[in-house]
Structure 1
């Protein structure tokens, strides 16, 4: 027997005593051992809720099994057999028994919720003998045969890889033949025939070489041994941890691949035993908008998969207690809603089954919710006294705020509403109609926004759901696969649009009651907040920081900016124009951490900078510089005015000059055309000379060439021009009574001498402007640390810097030797798949790059104790990176305007975490 415990029991024994084995001191600890599902089943059993008994095989067993090439670790099978025998003893039944068979479900259960991403097998234990025992016990032949056909279909698909459509087609053919509409209209005799047909489908479609364990006389035979069924199902659930959709989901939600999944073997309870039985999925509060109401769906006489698969239209959970036969169980369920919220102090997601009037709890977990719901639930629970402000701030996932910070449908737009469905996931999307996930991916690759239109999505559609702007289904409820996944992703979703008659083969959808037929490529708009489907493109508008979002951000700032609670982390924005500066301020930025002046040289001004670069006389250069000075000064006037009273860090010109010139390839083509058509020799000579000069400035590797501070040293007149523009704009605004606070950043330094030389030049230029305006100008000068040498020499460079700003984009490039423009499409995806890299280092701060940052922080502060250190690269807006920067002691992060609220919230969470507060929300 292995020393490590691989199996944990939950539920009661035959005498009604709880025999639950605890896998950790808390539910959060236990979920890393027996998965979220197993941990919460055990927790519900411990607090006395009705949970069908069972046992959980640990996540660590899954990892060991997978790491060994799908070979069971020594002793594990014996431990599982003991748990299975114990379960049979507790229930007084055996798997496969001819008279009173025990049936079980085999479900996955990862540490973090991954709805629909892994596999489940229900009704396990049925065979040609035990089905008659089930019929005898229930006196319900239809129920027995229906359970058996469901088991064959699910086992064949999940465990053996047989296409589930083969079984669905057989059911559809039988219904057409019988002239009935619903599965429930099929008789016991019909279902018995389906069982035989399903076994034939199994025999014809199982790969006998891949599955020799089910081969008899050279032919695949559906396994009748219930213990073999159980072993194969357990292996299949472990294997589903590494299926394509699960891997993609983990990547999307930043869930580590090395956690594994548990396997939960649990006694079956049946919601399909007639009109006194039901099954459902529900939330203790509304996961779409956070309203304190019971929210969910149920079906009478159905199994749980019917609800989430969307194959039957569901009924709202509020109607459960209105059905006399289910009223008592419904009242008990509503009481359990309260019990769970009180116990977990959060909005909970539950799955339940009512079997002949008896309520059973099959699962609970912290409910996935939209950003809108997360905000309202957190605030309401704080005001109800359930949680503190710190806990409320922790409950909101920063990444989810993107759902609220991007455009919604213009409320004043004229709309042609085609149809309405269920408002499954809020937000708006506009795009071309596509009818398959593969097409959604293709459209996205071609930069064509699309809406994925499906009868109902399934887990294999995840890649298309990720690629699409929004999801629209004609079937399914608010707890269907499409709705749950869309809410988790923050994608707009409208479900259950019954008026939509989809023919995916023809790539068209007819809208009942209209003459409209939607074809692939037609543009529609969907509103996941109201459930509307609109023909054509509707204008989108940007929301404002109001209501619950404003409240939670105010609480976050209260925590983040309170020195008594620990270090303070500021939040600034990267903005290059007045519009973005104003947007940043509206979103709560405390300043501009990066204003890239090269972005001001584009458009109509490109010709001016080109004339400077290519000038062959001082007069031409001076005229170009004069025009650039006027243009830059105007830019800075607007920027500083928009950010009045707040810091604006202006980075001097950074890119190599050839980037402002025409593409030499295009020029060569133009020259060839001139020669072909016999243009004047003087025109050809002029064009040739231009091409020669541009070619002379082109660098093989601009990252290592004439750019950044080197550009300012080689062309000091450019630095003088920019400094005069910055200082003059500040002086004029000060003379008007405003309070501009510019700072000047020198890019790409690698030696202290570079910064010392440029600092002297910059301060001289500022003083000249100050003297001209007759006022004092205090403009700090700092540098961007974006080269490894600069980080290592920060104790020298810091002597000449008022601030450091870490440019993690270039620091990552130069540390790895990667070119960001090339590697993200060339080999980073493969590196991530092969686990050479854990994350994309251009999105989330790399440990090696962070070591350089910590060296630079220490060096800079040694040289200048008053130095201010911030981050302005892409990682400055990444929540995981912000936690690291807080721990490093960075003074502020700067990010794109739309990520400012995300950074404000994350910085507060980082402070709470540093003070010992755990982030309790689920992934």
Structure 2
């Protein structure tokens, strides 16, 4: 909410219309009287629910109350006003806090002060606003000074409150980026006058002068006086916290972590305790375990004679929590006991805040701590070993994506300390890659042939770049999003990838990559971090993950604790999941990697990628440029042995696991060169005129290739293409079944882009005919299925008819999303962010399936297919097959398996187990 709107509501608790006739409870108390518990996060937010729970189990929690998330919803639905009954409930809760503390809110002899903080269902650290020391004014500050016997402490609290309230509620902020924070400017000016360096060196009289100057600043900037009335302060703070639910930080955070805006935030009002009362007081933030690596050690930091914001603001350097054992041994021992109690009760690693007021310990909040992927896995495994949680609880606790962090290469830690990124893009393929810059597939291959590592840098990639992508250590593009061609292929191949780095200017003619004033040339080193999106000039050493080293036989499993953690979690996942997990793989190397990571088959082989290797692209182009069927068959005959060899390699790599092979899908023009020089070269190579090549390229041009002459439409127009591919598949299968070293084979032939039952019927007739011929000729029985990819809405709607010919469906959710939403995954980036900002789309539908829309098409396809063929095999091979949220959806609609890129196989296994246990 804008500051002006927050200010407008700061004067009183306005109401617009009465609450429903049935009494609704909007305020829940915690302390000696506690209304809530940890199960009420949707109503009390995570912070409020856990404060109530800590109070309930006897931890020293300062009393207070939580205003529910329902009030936040009401607030936004009713033009920043509150339910009618809220004022009375808040006053009653304040009275309870007064009774428990023995203090009075706004009292001129023994004042009760409050902190006012946000509290969403999911932790959003630092994203929303907080007010401390609320209730101080010119009268109560004198009482605080007298009661504490520490005048400086009292006025330090007052100046902090005025600064926070003036900023958060009244909107006193920098006018522009070049202006310093106005309160800090006033503070710095006074310190200079007083001849001191630190805030803590200011005397009580200095702080009184500072307060006077702060109030003048507020009056000057806002034309309003700082409020003296405690309740006016309270309602102003409550409005500001609700308003901060819609600040830019909070919105971006929600979008990143898929937190719905409709959830709203609670507001927690808690009696103040003070860590800034002298050398016997302190404040800190701690974790029950190390959140970076998961080690079971007490981890955190603290400051003596400070308030909470001092620890996180960086004004003073906090001390490691272990030093508290020397400075305050009694308090440290109490904290160790709290640490143990929190883990045993919440059964997860906790992140908590504490204050020590004159040697007495208070707990201000606890929450499940944010942690790295490695830490998430380690904590779950070790807590299970310690019997703090069951296997099922441990499986559910690990974010499925966390398992990826155990598999990616990483930059050397020491080298990273000396490096600063030039810029950043979208993290599209996790891991770290460093190598020389190349701007073409040819250069990438040449560098790889020489044994040099390289990073392929392109404005955007196309299928023609595949060779270079295979050869490169990493891929960097200045255009495209996380669902672009580069990103999709990179993830499948396990390549490090950064996409959409808009600050990167690539000039193919000059062979330069420019970021601001930094100009790198082809052959210069560049380093990219596909986990964070950071891009560095120069060479940064990398190392493969320990899991990768074990799987490749370069490290013994017993020597790698990381691998043991990985192996434990994967065994748990396989124990509980119901969904099968396959991989999308086009080469034997990809297939073997996926099998090592637990893939149970191949759910998608893209045959078009095979046509770019070696000389076969020439035969492919010869087929496309042919003037009649006879010439096409002649070219296809040359392609046949290449395809047969490709499929043989895949069958052998999979050793009897199912292999789903998609027939040719993209339009033919993608295989032809588009610039004059390349066209002339291919004309000379094929001994035909360049005019003929140009004419053919022109004739194949399509206004909308995605919806044009591609998929099964090619096979129907040119049945000989389907015939050649089917023959290659079945001859490869036959050779595996009849060779000296017989290899079992399970073949699934997939026809793409089917929308009409007749389309599939025509293609299956060709496939079955070829299969029969090969089996008769080779005298073998091949176990095979013929099915289709459901990737356009009509196929989902008419699935019952299509299932008459299809023995399996594989949902191609990449194209189903594009055709279902009418959005191009390569072009939607121009408006997707705006759609997310407005909550039209809660998340990128190309990354996580649109369950309410595209998901309904999947459900229709499932129901239609099973109505005709109850035993039909159902899978998904789109990019969503590796997305945990999508996997839960696919489990619930009853698919048999998901298929994803090799590096995502462990993620899918874990996500499938979590879906089964949900």
TM class by shorter chain equals 0.7 to 0.9
Q: Matched residues in 1 for 2:65 and 2:517: separation?
A: 49
Kindly indicate whether residue 882 of structure 2 is the aligned counterpart of residue 882 of structure 1: no
SS in structure 1 at match of 2:356: strand
TM-score of the pair, normalised by structure 2: 0.80
Determine if the alignment matches structure 1 residue 608 to structure 2 residue 613.
Answer: no
Q: CA deviation at 1:267?
A: 0.8
Q: Secondary structure at the match of 1:842?
A: coil
Which residue in the other structure is 2:307 paired with? Answer: 303
Q: Give SS of 2:804's match.
A: helix
Aligned to 1:273: 277
**Structure 2 counterpart of 1:834:** 838
- Partner residue in 2 for 1:693: 696
Per-residue CA distance 1:328-350 (angstroms, 9 max, x = gap): 12211111111111211111111
1:446 is displaced (CA, Å) by 9.1
- Is the 1:560–1:911 Cα contact (8 Å) retained in structure 2? no
Is residue 633 of structure 1 aligned with residue 635 of structure 2? no
Q: Provide Cα deviations, 1:167-188, integer angstroms capped at 9, x if missing partner.
A: 2233334444555443222222
1:647 aligns with 2:671: no
From the superposition, tell whether residues 256 and 126 of structure 1 become closer, same or farther in structure 2 (CA, over 3 Å).
Answer: same
Which of 753-762 and 866-875 deviates more? 753-762
| 1:154 aligned onto 2:164 | yes
* Distance 1:639-1:428 versus aligned 2 partners, 3 A rule: closer
Deviations 1:207-260 (A, max 9, x none): xxxxxxxxxxxx332222222111111100010011111111111111111111
Report SS of the residue matched to 1:759: helix
Give the Å deviation of 1:651: 0.3
- Supply the distance in 2 between the matched residues of 1:409 and 1:856 (Cα, whole angstroms): 45
Q: Which residue of 1 aligns with 2:249?
A: 245
Q: Are residues 1:578 and 2:588 paired?
A: yes
1:78 Cα deviation after fit: 2.7
- Map 1:138-537 to 2 at 5 A: 138-163=148-173, 165-206=181-222, 219-323=223-327, 326-409=328-411, 418=418, 536-537=538-539
- Give the match for residue 751 of structure 2: 746
The one-character-per-residue Cα deviations of 1:140-184 (angstroms, maximum 9, x if unpaired) are 122122111111111111112222722223333444455544322
Residue by residue over 1:383-407, the C-alpha shift from the partner in whole angstroms, topping out at 9 and shown as x without a partner, is 1122111111111011223333322
551-560 or 333-342, which moves further after superposition? 551-560
1:203 Cα deviation (Å)?
2.2
What is the TM-score when the length of structure 1 is the normalising length? 0.79
Q: 1:560 Cα shift?
A: 5.5
Contact persistence 2:408–2:431 (CA under 8 A): no
2:465 is matched with none
Alpha-carbon shift at residue 94 of structure 1 (Å): 2.7
Match of 2:493 in 1: none
Counterpart for residue 718 of structure 1:
721
Post-superposition Cα deviations, 1:638-671, rounded to whole Å, max 9, x if no partner, equal 32232223222110001121222233xx459999
- 1:863 aligns to what? 868
Whole-angstrom CA distance in 1 between matches of 2:764 and 2:335: 71
SS in 2 for 1:819: coil
Check whether the contact 1:142–1:191 (CA below 8 A) recurs between aligned residues. Answer: yes
Describe the SS at the equivalent of 2:810. Answer: strand
Say which is worse superposed, 801-810 or 774-783, in terms of deviation.
Answer: 774-783
Q: Is 2:35 aligned against 1:21? A: yes
**2:736 is the counterpart of 1:733:** yes
- Partner-residue secondary structure (3-state), 1:286: coil
Cα deviation digits, residues 318-375 of structure 1 (max 9, x gap): 121211xx22122111111111112111111110000010000000111121111111
Q: Name the CA distance, whole Å, in 2 between partners of 1:556 and 1:869.
A: 26
Whether the 8 Å contact between 2:411 and 2:543 is mirrored in structure 1 is: yes
- Relative to 1, partners in 2 of residues 1:813 and 1:528: Cα closer, same or farther, differing over 3 Å? closer
In the TM superposition, what is the alpha-carbon distance from 1:418 to its structure 2 partner?
Answer: 4.0
Shift of 1:525: 8.0
Matched-pair contact (CA < 8 Å) for 2:378–2:565 = no
Is 1:36 the counterpart of 2:50 in the alignment?
no
After superposition, give the CA deviation of every residue in 1:434-457 in whole Å (9 maximum; x if it has no partner): xxxxxxxxxx9999xxxxxxxxxx
Pairing of 1:843-858 with structure 2 (within 5 A)? 843-845=847-849, 846-858=851-863
The 2-side partners of 1:419 and 1:810 are apart by 40
For structure 2, the 5+ residue unaligned runs are: 1-17, 175-180, 421-429, 436-456, 461-479, 483-495, 497-515, 551-559, 682-687
Q: Does 1:8 align with 2:28?
A: yes
Show CA shifts across 1:26-52 (max 9, x none). 513x11111111111111111111111
* Larger CA deviation: 834-843 vs 717-726: 834-843
Structure 1, unaligned stretches of length 5 or more?
A: 12-17, 207-218, 421-426, 433-443, 448-466, 470-490, 492-517, 675-684, 914-923
Task: Give the distance between the partners of 1:336 and 1:73, measured in 2 at CA.
Answer: 38
1: CA distance between counterparts of 2:217 and 2:408? 49
Q: Does 2:705 match 1:702?
A: yes
CA drift of 1:137 comes to 1.4
* Structure 1 CA distance for aligned equivalents of residues 46 and 871 of structure 2: 47
Distance 1:290 1:232 in 2: 40
- What is the deviation of 1:558? 5.0
Q: Quick one: distance in 1 between partners of 2:789 and 2:202?
A: 72
Partner of 2:789: 784
Greater alpha carbon shift after TM alignment, 261-270 vs 604-613 = 604-613
- Preserved contact between residue 588 and residue 649 of structure 2 (Cα < 8 Å): yes
Give the alignment partner of residue 760 of structure 2, picking from 755, 760, 766. Answer: 755
- Contact 1:744/1:780 (CA < 8 Å) preserved in 2? yes
> What is the alpha-carbon distance in structure 1 between the residues aligned to residue 911 and residue 564 of structure 2?
15
| Distance 1:262-1:882 versus aligned 2 partners, 3 A rule | same
SS of residue in 2 equivalent to 1:80 = helix
CA contact (8 A) 1:88 1:94 kept: yes
1:74 pairs, out of 80, 84, 103, with: 84
Shift in Å at residue 593 of structure 1? 0.5
CA shift digits 1:788-832 (9 cap, x unpaired): 22223322222322221111122222223333333x224333333
> 1:417, CA displacement in angstroms?
6.2
Q: Does the 8 Å contact 1:557/1:908 carry over to 2?
A: no
Tell me: CA distance 1:755–1:549, structure 2 relative to 1, closer, same or farther (3 Å): farther
Q: 1:670 to 1:908 in 2, by over 3 A?
A: closer
Point out the more displaced range, 69-78 or 553-562.
553-562
C-alpha spacing 1:895/1:430, structure 2 compared with 1 (3 Å): closer
Residue of structure 2 aligned with 1:109, choices 119, 138, 141: 119
Q: 1:794 aligns with which of 790, 799, 817?
A: 799
Residues 602, 659 of structure 2: 8 Å contact kept: yes
2:378 partner SS = helix
CA 1:829/1:525 → structure 2, altered by over 3 Å: closer, same or farther? closer
Kindly report the root-mean-square deviation, in angstroms, between the aligned alpha carbons of the 2 structures.
3.4
8 Å Cα contact 1:416/1:535 also seen in 2? no
**Do the aligned partners of 2:481 and 2:829 also contact (CA within 8 Å) in 1?**
no
Please give the secondary structure, in 2, of the residue aligned with 1:588.
coil
Q: Per the alignment, in what secondary structure is the counterpart of residue 258 of structure 1?
A: helix
Cα gap change, 1:797 to 1:559, in 2 (>3 Å): farther
In structure 2, the CA distance between the partners of 1:744 and 1:524, relative to structure 1 (3 Å rule), is closer
Does the Cα contact within 8 Å between 2:45 and 2:120 map onto a contact in 1? yes
> Are residues 526 and 898 of structure 1, via their aligned partners in 2, closer, same or farther at CA, if it must alter by over 3 Å?
closer
Is the CA contact 2:726–2:771 (under 8 Å) kept in the aligned structure 1?
A: yes
Structure 1 residues 559, 335: closer, same or farther in 2, change over 3 A?
A: closer
Query: Whole-Å Cα distance in 2 between the matches of residues 294 and 792 of structure 1?
Result: 57
Paired residue secondary structure (1:402): helix
Matched residues in 1 for 2:604 and 2:527: separation?
A: 36
Alpha carbons of 1:809 and 1:526: their partners in 2 closer, same or farther (altered >3 Å)?
closer
Q: Give secondary structure in 2 for the equivalent of 1:712.
A: helix
